[in-house]
Every structure is written in structure tokens, then in C-alpha cells.
């Protein structure tokens, strides 16, 4: 397979992970999708663009190139469910609306999917693990920000309209409680936006697996309502008029992470 990820090494102890930003499809997935899925509606659209200020902050960034319809990088390799109720797995079988993703009998084979695990999932997680280890070795700690977005109303997955900023720390297990409180306070300082900590989205596999405060690795997931920066339906256009105010909050969140790290660890 061709390039499966986009990694940029930074100079501060922060890694921003973007596992659902990819748009590439394998031939087997592309040919098997139902027509409604070919526009890739469940993508975390425009996340690299939304966070393109990260380089100026000195953060490392890691973004997927392949779509979650090929393999979901925010799921464990054994495909154990992360959430009770409606959800999607390592190899998604449905759209977020609950509609089957593939035409009858047109799913990729078990052999093809084993290849996706080895050639797409594996490199992403090795890079993530190696960069966190590098940051910890250099600074004594590492900060992981898992950046996601989702359509703000999906009745199949959750009731009503999702809050604008959905912070997840696996119910406090993936990062220091004071850090989570600081991020909540930053969101509260922007009352035009709603926010929640450990609501419907508590953090996926990446947050849960890599966040380990006892080992000085602090992980936070943000699930951002797409209505805050783009058109939520096809053609999924980026909206600068919506995005720029949202980016102010995102920048403050990342700066808050770094400031907390300096205060906590002295560097």
C-alpha cells in the first residue's frame, strides 16, 4: 500500500493524533460501498486544516491517510466494543445512521482486512507509540490530544444535539484530574459553545490505551461538533466563518495542555 499516514515531528511534549481524517480507500472497500457511503460521510472532515496552527505551537502531528471505512484506527486490534449500545467496530459494517456500509456480499475478505490491520493500523500505532516514547524520554512526560469531529445530530448514536466540545478522559483514567479541569475551564470561558467532559464520548481506544498518568502520559480526546466549522452534509465544505472562532478555543485548549505540563513538570 502507498503512504498510510502523515507524521510531523514537533519540538514540544504534545502529539496531536487525527485517526479519522483519512480519505483513501482500497479497491475492495471502494467497490463494495453502498452509493450513500461513497462520499465518506462519517469522516472527521478537514481536521488537519482545522489544526494547522499546531506546527506554530511546536506540536507533533499524526494524521491517517486511509478512511475509517477501511479500518478504524481508534478501535483495538481485537475489536472489543468500547461503548455500550450503538457503535462501530474495527471494520465498520454500518454508517453512523445504522445503514449497512457495504452492498450484500461485497465486504472485503478476511485476508484483505488482515492486510489492513498490518499495513494501516499497525504503522499508525507504532508511530504513535514511538513518538510518545520519544517525548517522554526528552521531556519526562508526554501529552496526547486525540482530535475528532462528528455530525452534531445522529439519532442512531445519541439523543438530541451533541454538545459543541466533547472532552473525553475515560472517566478520569487517561489524564490528570487537574488537567481535565483546566480544559473544562477553558471551554467554560467561551459560553457561546456548549461543552461536556466524559459525556457520550469518553475517549476511544487511543485515549484509553495510551493515556497513563502514573507513567506521565496524559491523553485527552476531543469530539468536536462539525457544525462549528463546516457544512455537516455533502459536499462537506469547510466554513472559515465558523472555523475561525472555533480555532480560537482549540488553540487555547492546546496552549492549556502545554502550560499545565510546564507547571506540573517544570519543562
Looking at residue 265, its pLDDT comes to 97
Query: pLDDT tens digits, residue range 212-260?
Result: 999 999 999 999 999 999 999 999 999 999 999 999 999 999 999 999 9
More confident residue, 204 or 81: 204
Higher pLDDT, 148 or 82: 148
What pLDDT, on the 0 to 100 scale, is given for residue 239?
98
Q: What is the average pLDDT across 20-37?
A: 97
Rounded distance between C-alpha atoms, residue 254 and residue 95, angstroms: 31
The tens digit of pLDDT for each residue in 160-192 reads 999 999 999 999 999 999 999 999 999 999 999
Range of the domain at 9: 5-265
Q: What is the DSSP string of 142-158?
A: EEEEEEEEE-S--TTTS
pLDDT at 85 over 80: no
Give the mean model confidence (pLDDT) for residues 89-94. Answer: 93
Q: 80 pLDDT exceeds 60?
A: yes
Q: Is the pLDDT of residue 40 over 80?
A: yes
Contact between 186 and 252 under an 8 Å Cβ cutoff? The reply is yes
Q: Check which CATH number belongs to the domain holding 9 and give it.
A: 3.40.630.40
> How far apart are alpha carbons 45 and 232 in whole angstroms?
9
> Are 154 and 97 a contacting pair, CB within 8 Å?
yes
Q: Is the pLDDT of residue 7 over 90?
A: yes
User: Which pLDDT score is estimated for 88?
Assistant: 72
In the 8-state DSSP scheme, what is residue 94?
A: B
Kindly state the percentage of the chain with pLDDT values over 70.
97
Where does the pLDDT of residue 89 fall: very low under 50, low under 70, confident under 90, or very high at 90 and above?
Answer: confident
**CA 62 to mean position of chain CA atoms:** 10
Rg (CA), the chain: 18
Q: Which three cell numbers stand for residue 126?
A: 507504532
How many structural domains is the chain composed of?
Answer: 1
Specify the 3-state DSSP secondary structure of 109: coil
Give 9-27 pLDDT, tens digit per residue: 999 999 999 999 999 999 9
| Mean pLDDT over the full length of the chain | 95
Question: Other CB atoms closer than 10 Å to residue 123's CB: what's the count?
Answer: 17
For the purposes of burial, counting CB atoms within 10 Å of the CB of 12, is it exposed (0-12), middle (13-18) or buried (19 or more)?
buried
Q: What is the pLDDT of residues 111-166, one digit of tens each?
A: 999 999 999 999 999 999 999 999 999 999 999 999 999 999 999 888 899 999 99
- In sequence order, what are the residues at sequence separation of 6 or more whose Cβ sits closer than 8 angstroms to the Cβ of residue 227? 151, 152, 164, 242
Amino acid at each position: 500500500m502507498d503512504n498510510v499516514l502523515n507524521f510531523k515531528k514537533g519540538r514540544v511534549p504534545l502529539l496531536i493524533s487525527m485517526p479519522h481524517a483519512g480519505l483513501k480507500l482500497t479497491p475492495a472497500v471502494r467497490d463494495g460501498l453502498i452509493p450513500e457511503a461513497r462520499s465518506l460521510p462519517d469522516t472527521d472532515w478537514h481536521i488537519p486544516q482545522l489544526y494547522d496552527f499546531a506546527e506554530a505551537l511546536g506540536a507533533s502531528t499524526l494524521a491517517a491517510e486511509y478512511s475509517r471505512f477501511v479500518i478504524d484506527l481508534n478501535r483495538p486490534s481485537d475489536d472489543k466494543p468500547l461503548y455500550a449500545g450503538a457503535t462501530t467496530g474495527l471494520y465498520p459494517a454500518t454508517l453512523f445512521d445504522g445503514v449497512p456500509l457495504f452492498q450484500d456480499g461485497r465486504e472485503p475478505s478476511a485476508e484483505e482486512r488482515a492486510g489492513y490491520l498490518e499495513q494501516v493500523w499497525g504503522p499508525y500505532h507504532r508511530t504513535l507509540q514511538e513518538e510518545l516514547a520519544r517525548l517522554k524520554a526528552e521531556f519526562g512526560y508526554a501529552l496526547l490530544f486525540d482530535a475528532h469531529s462528528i455530525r452534531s445530530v445522529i439519532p442512531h448514536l445519541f439523543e438530541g444535539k451533541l454538545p459543541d466540545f466533547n472532552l473525553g478522559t475515560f472517566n478520569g483514567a487517561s489524564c490528570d484530574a487537574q488537567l481535565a479541569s483546566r480544559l473544562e475551564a477553558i471551554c467554560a470561558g467561551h459560553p457561546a459553545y456548549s461543552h461536556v467532559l466524559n459525556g457520550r464520548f469518553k475517549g476511544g481506544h487511543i485515549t484509553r490505551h495510551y493515556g497513563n498518568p502514573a507513567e506521565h502520559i496524559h491523553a485527552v480526546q476531543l469530539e468536536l461538533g462539525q457544525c462549528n466549522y463546516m457544512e455537516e452534509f455533502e459536499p462537506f465544505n469547510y466554513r472559515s466563518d465558523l472555523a475561525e472562532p472555533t480555532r480560537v478555543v482549540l488553540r487555547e485548549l492546546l496552549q492549556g495542555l502545554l502550560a499545565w505540563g510546564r507547571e506540573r513538570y517544570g519543562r
